[in-house]
Structure 1
């Protein structure tokens, strides 16, 4: 890769003839996420934060332009991970972090995880559940230029029911449990559900995350039981729509998933025990599936280690973890809409790319997997007019990998060029 400034005596923005200087990327192979096949030998022209041209051949630079030589690379849109958690990174001591760490500790650590994610080529993420409003604070710090990281769409605190997955007091001594309510992300009944959505809006969240069934890593017995009534889910979805917010739903069990789908949620995360009926319902309602195979693989491995998980968690990890990849394979074959998501924070941030390997192992073609992490993520977010593909008029989120990831998908772990909104972060 070579970056060459033309006529360095010119201003970075304006030459003497007042023509706006541009950045030209010479792409050997270009995946636009707009075309069914890659393009060969193309030039992407960027001015400020926007793509202003995508043309065949290697366009000649004019005075003041900068040329980025990626003729030996595959160039593609910035990647999108639709399921991350920057406030944490799982370890055997994670269950005591709240007693050992302050809000500032979580935020500073989250900034490191955010930069690591950006450097891996992920320029946009959905942050699906946190503590201490970390994702909202990180979003602001990144937007203001204080921290390097991806563009964040933040859910803030996940919404749970009493004792359900994401009730922050699960596993505590009786003296510490208390009675958390909507402000803490814990609801019972439709009115409290509405209040919790409005509270997330007040706190600056972009979307809503709901834990509709039991989960693997919460200190609670069931990993799949339904935990919301249909009325509660309908109240959340209708209120979220009033406030211009989408709804992402953690769900492993079939019944909880189907209640959420019928309520009109936008995506199902994990989806372990979905069956043909569930998949047909998702297709009927246009619900996206965000698989998180990486998290399933990781918890399966750690369940084999004595003492790594609490006693209530270990059997859930051993049972649910191994199933997600096959669920994904079935959903892909059934034609369910799929957006890339990993649950990073369960495993190490920056290893998000491994999801591509697991998806292709399960039968998704490499180009379709890349599309799931670009244009499909943008569609799920409702920002496909601005992000998710390389096209004139879109925001210049662009990455590159050496060689051809369509023949060796592991190259997605070797991103060596990252541009977000026209600014180069890795070269």
Structure 2
């Protein structure tokens, strides 16, 4: 079968239909039409705009500069930070709800740079655990695109999301049912491997509104019957995917494990390397040269070690120390790092756990925090709006009990979360 002979991805009607189906699958329709989430001193969560809020009296940490300000005030108007600094140096508007932060540390909302959000419940869980921004690691039926729209409509219900759509992988499985323009690929004997088929999945994703493209170079670590070091796409195939995405100005994130697979992905031009347990020094040096990000998802690998399946448990125990060493080597070489939990399947892990593991890998506390704030924000192209509490940035914040520079584990359990000026 020649994929090139099929028409280009259909236009608006099909896209709207796909998005409506994705919203139904994700449960975002019910979430968006349910009771409004009250915004202190501002608009309701269903209003599509942020709220007005003053966070007062806490110790403010700016990950961008490392500056710590005691007895700080953060003023959020219409979901955006208007001012932040020491009390007395900030003008506080009258009549705005005040969130008392005395005795607590205040940080910008965290960023989970690799998470699979397929339902509205998962999206809410991510926000409540401090992930106010995120990047999808793909979903089976475009649910992440619907979650992204939910976040725009009702910001307190979901992180602002960079959506990846469906996975570019040799075997699409049930995902061929996600879109009428993918169903012809089910007839391909060898799966999605030809240049034409690879371009088709990228083009359909982008036609449906994906912000980034997700692909793989190795098999999965989380399935005992697969070999994570087995390579499924070649350098040439990865380069085809990257080129198709770049023609539309989009980046590619790549699931990887083996050193050769990591090297092929990086030299093919991916924007970020995901997992990458066995990435070697030659590839890390190439990543530094190219500015390629490393999203190690330590949380997911640590989770394997807790599996009841003996194959997965042994895999997790063997991979975690190797991956920690790779993370420290990347940091010392100057490779940009981003925190991601790889949460999926209904279990949403706190992004603070990933920061904890970054710290355990040997990163200084501030640098570990940056992987889930300023560093991850740059990867998502949101470095001017996310990752700091400064004028013009998003009014996203977390309040924690304790000094995160002394003990990053406090980030795992934020006592309050603010999303776009809305107290969650």
Query: What TM-score results when the alignment is normalised by the length of structure 2?
Result: 0.79
Q: Does the aligned pair in 1 maintain the 2:156–2:423 contact within 8 Å?
A: no
Q: Does the aligned pair in 1 maintain the 2:212–2:251 contact within 8 Å?
A: yes
Q: Give CA-to-partner distance per residue, 1:78-102, whole Å, 9 cap, x none.
A: 1000111123xxxxxxxxxxxxxxx
Correspondence 1:213 to 2:218: yes
| TM-superposed deviation, 1:27 | 4.3
Of 143, 148, 151 in structure 2, the residue corresponding to residue 139 of structure 1 is 148
Distance 1:239 1:51 in 2: 37
Correspondence 1:154 to 2:168: no
Of 293, 297, 301 in structure 1, the residue corresponding to residue 306 of structure 2 is 301
Correspondence 1:34 to 2:64: yes
Q: Does the aligned pair in 1 maintain the 2:130–2:350 contact within 8 Å?
A: no
Q: Give CA-to-partner distance per residue, 1:212-256, whole Å, 9 cap, x none.
A: 112212465421122222222122112212223211111001111
Distance 1:424 1:186 in 2: 47
Q: Which residues of structure 2 form unaligned runs of 5+?
A: 1-40, 44-50, 176-182
What are the residue-to-residue correspondences of 1:13-32 with 2, within 5 Å? 23-32=53-62
Q: What is aligned with 2:105?
A: 74
Of 71, 83, 93 in structure 1, the residue corresponding to residue 114 of structure 2 is 83
What are the residue-to-residue correspondences of 1:225-244 with 2, within 5 Å? 225-244=230-249
Distance 2:374 2:201 in 1: 31
| TM-superposed deviation, 1:291 | 1.1
Of 274, 283, 292 in structure 1, the residue corresponding to residue 279 of structure 2 is 274
Q: Does the aligned pair in 2 maintain the 1:32–1:390 contact within 8 Å?
A: yes
| TM-superposed deviation, 1:147 | 7.8
**Other structure's SS at 2:305 match:** helix
Q: What is aligned with 1:401?
A: 400
Distance 1:153 1:236 in 2: 18
Q: Does the aligned pair in 2 maintain the 1:223–1:316 contact within 8 Å?
A: no
Of 126, 141, 155 in structure 1, the residue corresponding to residue 135 of structure 2 is 126
| TM-superposed deviation, 1:146 | 9.2
Distance 2:81 2:156 in 1: 24
Of 48, 52, 59 in structure 1, the residue corresponding to residue 78 of structure 2 is 48
Q: Higher helix proportion, which one?
A: 2
Distance 1:193 1:56 in 2: 53
Distance 2:403 2:365 in 1: 10
Q: Give CA-to-partner distance per residue, 1:88-144, whole Å, 9 cap, x none.
A: xxxxxxxxxxxxxxxxxxxxxx22121111001110111102112221222223322
| TM-superposed deviation, 1:373 | 0.4
Distance 1:282 1:207 in 2: 19
**Other structure's SS at 1:343 match:** coil
What are the residue-to-residue correspondences of 1:180-219 with 2, within 5 Å? 180-181=185-186, 187-218=192-223
| TM-superposed deviation, 1:66 | 2.7
What are the residue-to-residue correspondences of 1:362-401 with 2, within 5 Å? 362-401=361-400
Q: Does the aligned pair in 2 maintain the 1:290–1:341 contact within 8 Å?
A: yes
**Other structure's SS at 1:353 match:** helix
Of 43, 65, 73 in structure 1, the residue corresponding to residue 96 of structure 2 is 65
Q: 1:200 to 1:300 in 2, by over 3 A?
A: same
Distance 2:42 2:228 in 1: 55
Q: Give CA-to-partner distance per residue, 1:142-189, whole Å, 9 cap, x none.
A: 322298121111112111125xxxx4379xxxxxxx995599x95212
Distance 1:50 1:380 in 2: 21
Q: Give CA-to-partner distance per residue, 1:322-368, whole Å, 9 cap, x none.
A: 53223222222222110111111279314332122211111111211
Query: What TM-score results when the alignment is normalised by the length of structure 1?
Result: 0.79
Q: Does the aligned pair in 2 maintain the 1:182–1:199 contact within 8 Å?
A: no
Q: Does the aligned pair in 2 maintain the 1:42–1:55 contact within 8 Å?
A: yes
Q: Does the aligned pair in 1 maintain the 2:356–2:368 contact within 8 Å?
A: no
Distance 1:319 1:159 in 2: 28
RMSD: 2.8
